Structure 1
Amino acid sequence: MEMPSNLTFHSYLPKNATSSKSKKTAIEKGLLLHSSTHRNLDYTAREEERGSKPLLNHFIGIYDPKTGKLQVVEAKKMVVRGTVRSKQVATEQEGKKSMLDQRTDLGQTFGTKKAKKAIQDKVLNAIAPQRKPGDTSTPVKLDDASKAILNSIGAVTSTMASREELQAAVDEAKPVPKANVDASEVYDVYRPEELIGADIINLVPIREWQEKAKHGESIQFQSRYVVSRVQAIASNDSAEMRLRVLRYLSIVLLFYLYSKPGRQKGTRQLPPREKLRELLAPAPEAVVENIRRKFSDGGQLRKFHIDLLIAHCCALACIVDNFEVDTQALKDDLKLDQRVMNQYFHEIGARVKPVKDKTEERTLQVAKLTLPLDLPKQRQIRARR
C-alpha cells in the first residue's frame, strides 16, 4: 500500500523528554509521528532501531531562500505503518448472522475434517460482495478497510500493462525471427531481405552450384536437407532467391555443426575465428561475421542462441520449400527429436501434421506455414475456485 504524499503528521515526545532538566539532544530524544488526515487509515511513524549498522546516520539539508544558506541537520530514520481506522459499532440488525453463517458455524463445530476443510476453502476463496442479512438483492456498502484496499489496488493497477502489451513483450523476448503478423500473403511473413539482410543475401555465393547443376554434376554437401533440394533449385533459373536462401541456410547449418559442446551444460563452443572462416569457405567474410554475431556471443552459443539459430533454420526452410517442409532431413541434420523439431516450427507460426507417403509407405511430418499464423500464446494460469 502506497502512502499519500499530502499527509500531515503530528510529532510526539516522551514525557521525560519535555522536562527542562533533560540533558539529551534533540536527535537523542525518542520521537513518534502520527497522522489521521487520511479518510480511512491512520499512519504511525516510529524511529527505526539501528540494528546491525550503529554507525549509519542520516542527514537532511534545509535551504533558506531568504538568506541563501543551507543547513545540514541530522535526521531520524522512521518506519511508517498504516492501520485501518476503528469501525463504528455495528447495529443490532447488522450483527445478526445469516442462515449461511449459521450453517458454517455448525459445520466448523460438528463437521468432519473433510467438511471443515471444504468450508475453510470456500471462505478463503469467497470474493462475492457481502450482503445484508436476509437481503438477497442489495450488496452491503464497502467498509473503510475494503475501500482503502480497493483505492490502493486501483492506484497500482492503473499503470499495469494490458494482456496485449504483455503478449507483445513476450514475443519480443523470444529467440525466434520476427514475423510480420500483419502480412496478407504468406510469403510476406518472413521475407529473405528482413530475415537475412538485403546486403548479406546478395553476397551469398551461388554461381558454383548453378554451374554444377547446369552441367549435370552432383553437388555434395554435409547436410541431407541441402543435398535433397539443391539440384532441383539450382537448375531452376526462376528460383535464384530460393537458391540464395538455401545457400545461406547451408552456411548456418555448417556453423552449428562445427561447434562443439561447451563446458557449461546446454552451451556450444565455436572454433577460433580464423579456423571458422576456413571451415565455412567459400562463404565471404561478411556473411560469416553476420552469422557469428547473430547466433553467438564471445565464441559461445548459449541456449538462447541455439534456439534462435534453429528457429531461423525453420523459417529459412519454409522459404526454400515454398512454405511446406518435410521436416525429416532438417531434423536429422540438427540431431533433434521429432517432438522438439515440431515445437520449433510451431514457434515460428507453422502447423506440423502427419502426412502418409504412399510411394514409400511411411508417415511424413510436414510443417506448413499458412495464414493466420499458429503462433504460441502466453500461457494463462486459471484461477482456483
Structure 2
Amino acid sequence: MTELNGTVSPAFEPVRDAVEEQLRSGAEVGLSLAVDVDGRQVVDLWGGHRDATRTRPWQRDTITNVWSITKTVTSLAALLLVDAGELDLYAPVARYWPEFAANGKQHVQVRHLLSHTSGVSGLDRPARLEDLYDVRAAAARMASQRPWWEPGTASGYHVLNYGHLVGELVHRLTGLPLRDFVDQHIAQPLGTDFQIGLRDADAERVADVVAPALDFDPSALDHGTAAYKTFTGPSFGAGAANTPAWRAADLGAANGHGNARSVVGTLAPIARAGASAHGRFLKPGTIGLVFDEQSGGTDLVSGLHVRWGIGYALPDRRTLPWIPDGRIAFWGGWGGSMAIMDLDRRMTIGYVMNNMGADILGSQRAAAYITAVYRALATGNPT
C-alpha cells in the first residue's frame, strides 16, 4: 500500500481517511494536503510518489508545479504594494506602466488586471510558449495590443499572462522581477518554501506533473472568441511544466513551485486578518479589498461561472458547490490543486498533487478532501 505520512488533529482523522482512500484507489499518484486554523496546523499530510511509474516516494519536502495557485501568490504581491500605499487598485495601469495605454487601454485600471477583466488575456498571434519566457518582451507586446473585449465588462481568464501583467507593475514599482519580489518580500519573511519558477538547487526534490490523458485542444473553439485567442496565444500542453525552460522562467500565472504546507504558510495571513507567525503581514483593510466583487458571470475564456474579487475568486456554488458561502477567497491550479482562505473560520486549506485531473478548476479528489475538512471543523474541536 502507498504510504501516507504526516499528522492530523483528532477531529480531522476523517480527512486522513479520505486521502488514504484516493491513494489506495490509484487516483492519486503523489500529493500533499495542509490545513491551518488560526495558526494551528491541524492537517499536514503527504504521500504517494513523485513519478508516474510510482518508484520515487513523495517526501515531506517534495515540491511540484502548482499551476494557477501561483496566481494567488502573485495577487498577494500586489496586495503588499497596495498595503504599502504604492499601488492604487483604482488607478489606470498606465500611471505605473505608460506604454499600457496603447490601443484604447488608457482607462484600464489595476483592478481589471487583478480580476481578469482587462481584455488582455494572452498574446496576439503568432505566439509561441517560448515567447512568454522573455517576460519583459512579452509584457511589452501585451501593452501594445488592443483588448479582445471591452475592459471591465466581463472576465476572461488570464491563463498564462496574469503574472506578466501584475508582475510588470511589481517591476515598475520596485525594480525587482516578480519572482525576486515574491522571494524577498513574501517567502523569506513568512519562512515558506514557495518559489516562482525553480532554483537549480531544488531540482532533485521536484515531482513531475502527470499530464491528463487528454490535453486541452483549443482547435474546436470559435476562432473569433477570446477563449480561442487566449488558448492559442500561445498554445501549450501540461508536459511543458516538466521542461527546464518552463521551470527556469518567471511565470507568475502558472509556474510556482511548492507543496501544500508552503501554499498554506504563504496565504494564511489572508485568512488570519493579516497576522502571521512573524508579526503583522497585511492590514485588515487591505484584505477587505479582496471582496470588492469585480465581475460575476460566465468567464469568456474558461467558460466557468466565476465571481472575481480583487486577485481571488469568491464562492459560487454553481461552479464549486463544495466551497461554502461567506468571506472566502480561493483559486486552484489546472488539474485539481486548491488554495482556500476562509476568513470567517480563520482557516487556510492547501492541496497540491502531481496527477492532474481533466478539470480546469477543482476535481473530485479536491471536493472529497475539502468537504471532509469542513465537516471535521463543524463537528469537532480543531485542536
Q: Which has the higher contact order (CA 8 A, sep 6+)?
A: 2
Q: Report the TM-score range of the alignment, normalised by the length of the smaller protein.
A: under 0.3
| Larger fraction in helix | 1
After TM superposition, the score normalised by the length of structure 2 is: 0.21
Please tell me whether Structure 1 or Structure 2 has the larger radius of gyration of its CA atoms. Answer: 1
After TM superposition, the score normalised by the length of structure 1 is: 0.21
